[in-house]
A and B are shown apart, each in its own frame.
Chain A
Amino acid sequence: MSLINDFIKFNLNETTRKSIAEYLWIGGSGMDLRSKARTLPEPVTDPAKLPLWNFDGSSTDQAPGDDSEVILLPQAIFRDPFRGGSNILVMCDTYTPAGDPIPTNKRFSADKIFNHPDVAAEEPWFGIEQEYTLLQKDTKWPLGWPVGGFPGPQGPYYCGVGADKSFGRDIVDAHYKACLYAGINISGINGEVMPAQWEFQVGPATGISAGDQLWVARYILERITEIAGVVLSFDPKPIPGDWNGAGAHTNYSTKSMRNDGGIDVIRKAIEKLGLRHEQHIAAYGEGNDRRLTGRHETADINSFSWGVANRGASIRVGRDTEKAGKGYFEDRRPASNMDPYVVTSMIAETTILWKP
């Protein structure tokens, strides 16, 4: 199909000043990503200069049919790795025509928290480790697994290499470069313990940017798996039994934690998180109870614990941090299908604003 290929590769910049903007938003389930594109008269780099738009909320479970318009407010711009040139991806959030955030819009309240002077002063940094599983398209069985059966038990697959240990590397590598091109602060990737499961990390990102970057990285990943003919799953426990689940461990630090004496600030923060364990867990992803069993490098969902270098605890503090007396900690509870706006703002709220 060489004709279609030629058109996709067209460099528009040679013939017109127009550029294409792909508006992205989160749909009614809180986890489905949607997008549509529009033409701009010329290239735009500032989200404030982009026009508001709207979509049919009744088709995404976000509005009733007789009053279906939902407004899209552009919030962050990234370069489009699929269209190249001056074309862009635009991360948006969603409002009623009256200007109120609709219920699935979690970015709005997260933004408020990050704009609170006490939170802003602490410059909260986030590093999010997004795990995900690749599934064969028609059977929804993990990529590389024999249909109707299982591969050999976990052991050889973590960071593994070889046709019998690593399934789907091209997707992961294409995603890495695409994100770097787009301007997302992707910091690394690795193969995970369960075969066909992978992880990428985004960060360090400050405040609301962590959520924006992670959602766009998820969008780019889903576009790439679409090209590859493979299904992307963010389910926290895709295969029951002796197979690891998928999480979204969230590494976190504030200015006080990064300065001398930070280890005490970290301890206090962890204590506060322990007092709000149930509220956090409820917001850390649907189906997380299937994943947080206390086995497979997780802590049990009902108990809160923390430890240095301990991967079986709710919160893990790295050995570097302990030795230097300052640094960051890792909340290992969020599931792979968590909403980063919710998780990042909640951690900031509990550790900086909340008073027990």
Chain B
Amino acid sequence: MAQILAPSTQWQMRVPKSSTFGSPIATKMWSSLLLKQNMKGAAKSAGKFRVLALHSENSTVNRTEKLLNMDITPYTDKIIAEYIWIGGTGIDMRSKSRTISKPVEHPSELPKWNYDGSSTGQAPGEDSEVILYPQAIFKDPFRGGNNILVICDAYTPAGEPIPTNKRHKAAEIFSNKKVVDEVPWFGIEQEYTLLQQNVKWPLGWPVGGYPGPQGPYYCGAGADKSFGRDISDAHYKACLYAGINISGTNGEVMPGQWEYQVGPSVGIEAGDHIWCSRYILERITEQAGVVLSLDPKPIEGDWNGAGCHTNYSTKSMREEGGFEVIKKAILNLSLRHKEHISAYGEGNERRLTGKHETASINTFSWGVANRGCSIRVGRDTEKNGKGYLEDRRPASNMDPYVVTGLLAETTILYEPTLEAEALAAQKVALKV
């Protein structure tokens, strides 16, 4: 639940760099998570990655690691591109890789591909091909070298976006001139829970029981308060390497729960960066033997849920007089509460109860520095008369394309009638 790290005045002047590759990091060394390789004479060279290799019992020397870490650039120009897409449930990520003849700079240089949609609930068996359109490139932190991760969206062979492709509509909204002119910035706070494999009980919790009540865990340190920090830290560096705009991380209120923030990102980038960061996180938990959960209320009872608070601002909000623009935006949001809520994640009703720092799912509210509201405006923003707002309603399993697109649409494109506006203004105690 940390705020987006945004040094206030400098932030407003600088347009965030939307690079397809992050700035290359000179010495890219980060140690493997659990398996400590204490091999004497193991070569330590700059530009080498150490990833978790399978533990071998029958061989004295584990050489899979050497192959995984091999830098193939001296032997071939070819690179490996991992194409990533969202599957049939709207939250499952899928990927497969292919060899590309030489390094590429831009997604338009990559070929379209296809996959078996009948195996992901996205097409029938007798007409199974679903086409992948490359949309964003990131450096591959697992393979190193010039290898890449490619975020794609899915189309029918005829060129229509398939029903689970939410990026297409978001891209349309973000191409609308009015939206482009407002330069919408997003900072998304992704919370997630780590579960022990096989039992699916949170990491660090005693199986068959519960840890001490919430209190000591938020941003805590110590073996009895922080469970799984290596995953969060490895993820942080991996995302920075990949070129994802990750801005921070912290331990959350519920033990075994973590958060990282991505932003500020402009427009459609926010969605691309969040999905790629989710993929990298699931690859890391896969290596660590831990299960990633994006469920909004993983444990019933007196335990926090997991959200995906979305911080948002437009050019007008960031300039002088922006606070009035923010209030108008909140007004619009109040008139479309139901549309937003239904698109903010499955199972959110188990999380938005009005307790545990949430607002009740049925009522729309806003407030300055109020964590029990639907929308929170920071004290800085109120004091400066300009800034941003935080929509606290989205669940951790929300689709960032949907949420960011809706926020832009409702606050920039949607025009309520004057009477509706007046009624709403009364309801949420806003003078606009």
A161 to chain B, nearest CB (A): 5
Q: Please, which residues of chain A bring their CB within 8 A of the CB of B157?
A: 309, 319, 323
Query: CB of B45 within 8 A of chain A?
Result: no
9 residue pairs bridging A and B, Cβ less than 8 Å apart? A82-B63, A163-B285, A177-B70, A189-B96, A190-B95, A226-B59, A297-B118, A310-B125, A311-B116
A173 near B289 with CB under 8 A, answer no
B99 to chain A, nearest CB (A): 5
A contact set with B: CB distance below 8 Å: 1-2, 4-6, 8-9, 79, 81-82, 137, 146, 155-156, 158-166, 168-171, 173-178, 180-181, 186-191, 193, 224, 226-230, 297, 307, 309-312, 318-319, 323
Measured in the bound complex, the distance between the Cα atoms of B198 and A319 in whole Å is 41
Query: CB of B413 within 8 A of chain A?
Result: no
Give the one of A5, A186, A309 with max B CB within 10 A: A309
Q: A interface, by DSSP: helix, strand, loop or mixed? A: mixed
Q: Please, which residues of chain A bring their CB within 8 A of the CB of B57?
A: 137, 229
B104-163 interface with A by 8 A CB criterion: 114-116, 118-121, 125-129, 142-143, 157
Q: Please, which residues of chain B bring their CB within 8 A of the CB of A227?
A: 56, 59, 62-64
Q: Which of A8, A161, A229 contacts B61 (CB 8 A)?
A: A8
Measured in the bound complex, the distance between the Cα atoms of B55 and A79 in whole Å is 26
Interface residues on B, range: 35 or more
Q: Which of A5, A137, A180 contacts B76 (CB 8 A)?
A: A180
B98 near A158 with CB under 8 A, answer no
Measured in the bound complex, the distance between the Cα atoms of B291 and A166 in whole Å is 11
- Which A-B residue pairs are the 8 nearest by beta carbons? A190-B96, A159-B94, A188-B98, A174-B67, A158-B119, A2-B40, A319-B157, A229-B56
Known: A162-B282, A311-B125, A312-B125. A178 touches B67 (CB 8 A): yes
Q: Please, which residues of chain B bring their CB within 8 A of the CB of A163?
A: 197, 285-292
Q: Please, which residues of chain B bring their CB within 8 A of the CB of A168?
A: 54
Q: Please, which residues of chain A bring their CB within 8 A of the CB of B98?
A: 187-188
Measured in the bound complex, the distance between the Cα atoms of B61 and A97 in whole Å is 39
Q: Please, which residues of chain B bring their CB within 8 A of the CB of A156?
A: 92
Measured in the bound complex, the distance between the Cα atoms of B197 and A163 in whole Å is 7
Known: A155-B121, A158-B120, A190-B96. A166 touches B67 (CB 8 A): no
In the complex, which residue of chain A has the Cβ closest to the Cβ of B55? A229
Q: Please, which residues of chain A bring their CB within 8 A of the CB of B282?
A: 161-162
Q: Which of A164, A171, A189 contacts B197 (CB 8 A)?
A: A164
In the complex, which residue of chain B has the Cβ closest to the Cβ of A182? B75
Q: Please, which residues of chain A bring their CB within 8 A of the CB of B67?
A: 81, 174-175, 177-178, 224
